[in-house]
Amino acid sequence: MRFAFAVLFALTVAAMPAGFGGGAALAADPRIVTIGTGGVTGVYYPAGGAICRMVNKHRAEHGIRCAVEATDGSVENLESLRAGDLDLGIAQADWVHHAWEGGAKYQNRAAFAGLRTLLELHAESFTVVARKATGIRTFDDLKGRRVSLGITGSGQRATAEVLLAAMDWTLKDFSAVPEVKPAEQSAALCDDRVDAIIYVVGHPNGAIIEATTSCDAGFVAVDNAGTASLIAENPFYAKTVIPAKLYRGNPADTPTFGVHATLVATAALPDDVAYALVKAVMENFDDFRKLHPAFAGLVRESMVPAQSTVPVHPGALRYFQEIGLR
């Protein structure tokens, strides 16, 4: 874990009850927590930054300093948590669930029994963007085309492969599947290196703004028997819509499906740290929502994680119970 404990600070904490308080004495030797996010052009990176901003705003009270690390996204964050290389991470709710259960759906890894949830964040839509000149209008039209699914290890790539399996497709159904980093996907699309790109992301998104303004690109409907079966069989998937007129040249709603982004940690994260982090966000909720357009639709109640699968971290749960949301 990336906690920086000075000896004096450790002794101070040991003598104190867990909680949000602690005063300026704690701030002298802060504990440093790092949140794994995603690429800098996505929503995870600013989401992590927004969380850290709320935490650091009250550092004098709780003695915790929060930092953000750019990563390849959900799967990398979960594996880094498992390895103890991150304190917290943001990940798609489907991959949080798969990591918790382990097995075939999660790289044949053992169940991640120590995984814990802290906050539900913004909704993320499975988003396919294609140049309009290609004639690609639905997901079925992608067969035989050059498609960027994202890089191996990313949540978007993993979710795309889940959808392919539900449709009885494989990677061989595309003419090419180049590994393109999220920050480079829009350029690859507009430079005609691929015909379509796939993201799982909250909207609006900077990379997609880039694609729809740099070339004549549009959204692809993802609404078929495969998505219907995924939604019916998995509680973490739901129908979503990419709103009309949110991006240039896209006048109509685009049907698709999606998940929520989730802030996760492990059971090793101290209860007082989880409590302080969740409290910092929830008690500065209006300020938090203003830090990214994808947060505009958030409500406090929706940020409480469900306990039906992965357990909520005890420190987070204590705060939710104190304010009557559990």
| pLDDT tens for each residue of 96-111 | 999 999 987 787 899 9
CA nearest neighbour of 159 among 61, 83, 113, 91: 91
Token representation of residue 107: 């790289």
Give the C-alpha separation, 256 to 242, whole Å.
Answer: 8
Q: Does the domain made of 124-259 have the CATH classification 3.40.50.2300?
A: no
List Cβ neighbours of 249 (8 Å cut-off, separation of 6 or more). 132, 212, 216, 217, 218
The residues of the chain that CATH labels 3.40.190.10 are: 7-122+261-322, 124-259
Taking 90 as the threshold, does the pLDDT of residue 317 lie above it? yes
- Outline where DSSP puts E strands in the chain: 31-36, 64-69, 88-92, 115-131, 147-148, 196-201, 217-219, 238-242, 254-266
Whole-structure pTM value:
0.77
Q: Is residue 322 predicted with pLDDT exceeding 60?
A: yes
Q: What is the 3-state secondary structure (H, E, C) of 33-65?
A: EEEECCCCCCCHHHHHHHHHHHHHHCHHHHCEE
Mean of pLDDT over the chain = 87
Of the chain, the end-to-end C-alpha distance in Å amounts to: 29
**Mode of pairing for the β-strands spanning 254-266 and 238-242:** antiparallel
Per-residue pLDDT, averaged over 48-77, amounts to: 94
Report the chain's C-alpha Rg in angstroms: 20
Residue 3 has pLDDT above 50, yes or no: no
pLDDT digits (tens, 9 = 90+) for 64-74: 999 999 998 89
Q: What is the pLDDT of residue 151?
A: 87
Name the pLDDT band for 39 (thresholds 50, 70, 90): confident
Q: What's the average model confidence in pLDDT over 299-317?
A: 89
Per-residue model confidence (pLDDT) at position 19: 35
Fold type of domain 7-122+261-322: D-Maltodextrin-Binding Protein; domain 2 (3.40.190)
- Mean pLDDT of the 173-197 span: 95
Return the DSSP state at 254: E
Contacts of 163 (CB under 8 A, 6+ apart): 126, 139, 222, 226, 227, 230
pLDDT in tens, 122-139: 989 999 999 999 999 999
Widest Cα–Cα separation across the chain:
67
Would you say 97 and 310 are in contact if contact means Cβ atoms under 8 Å apart?
yes
- Averaged over 83-107, what is the pLDDT? 91
pLDDT of amino acid 2: 41
Residue 17, both tokens: 């009850």
> What was the pLDDT predicted at 296?
84
Predicted pLDDT of residue 202: 86
With vertex at residue 64, the alpha carbon angle to CA 63 and CA 67, rounded to the nearest 5 degrees, is: 150
Label residue 235 by pLDDT band (50, 70, 90): confident
Cα distance between residue 304 and residue 120, in whole Å: 6
- Over residues 11-30, the pLDDT tens digits come to 223 223 333 333 333 344 56
